[in-house]
Structure 1
Amino acid sequence: MAELFRARGLPVHQVMRRLTALDDQQRFLNRINLLAIDNGAAVGVECKLNTTVEDVCTHLARPDHFKRNFPHFSDMQRFGTIAAMQFEEGIYVLGQSGETIALLNPPAFKPRVW
């Protein structure tokens, strides 16, 4: 995944899995399946086997939750990505390509920035 984003000009330096935010009583607030980070940007990746329109809408609404629940990343530009077969305008899309994954957006794609 890091190589795919580097090829698009986003030099990923860290990839974290299953980041979970809890409140003071240790109750679940939010989870990010994958988070790719470079010096000034964070790419949240939602991994889905079967993606619905509702899944996409939920993911698009998450940047507000992300900023509140993961404040140490709040000054970064945030991008959304779904690792699935469906495409929604404005977010990076990862899909299966043989034994690996591929970035499915065309090279001229411009992601939405939150």
Structure 2
Amino acid sequence: MKIKDVSEKFHLSPDTLRYYEKIGLIRHVPRDKNGVRDYTEENCDTIAFIKCMRAASVSIDGLSRYMELFQQGDATRAARRQILVDERNHLESRQKDIQEALQHLNWKIKLYDEGKF
């Protein structure tokens, strides 16, 4: 899959894809005989994971740490799992904060609807 196709599929700019490759988040992207990137299914799976993690506000540093450990193989399973657990806990905490803010906004909107503001 060429960079334009991957860019459209994942709604990421080609510059972002090249940056992720440059910093090592996406590894081993094959190139055709003209040097044009030709992403594999495995590369696309990695991009889907990166996109999901970025949507959850996982930092580039956190992703880099995870991907580095992933490349080291099975010996790092516990460390990788812990990174994911930590990120899940952080996301659940943010979810709680967002839910509380949403409830407050709904209460305020109700007051406006009732003419109390």
Name the structure, 1 or 2, with higher relative contact order (CA <8 Å, separation 6+). Answer: 1
Q: TM-score range by the shorter chain?
A: under 0.3
Q: What's the TM-score, normalizing by structure 2?
A: 0.27
Look at both structures and tell me which one has the larger radius of gyration over its CA atoms: 2
TM-score, normalised with respect to structure 1: 0.27
Structure in which a larger fraction of residues adopt strand? 1
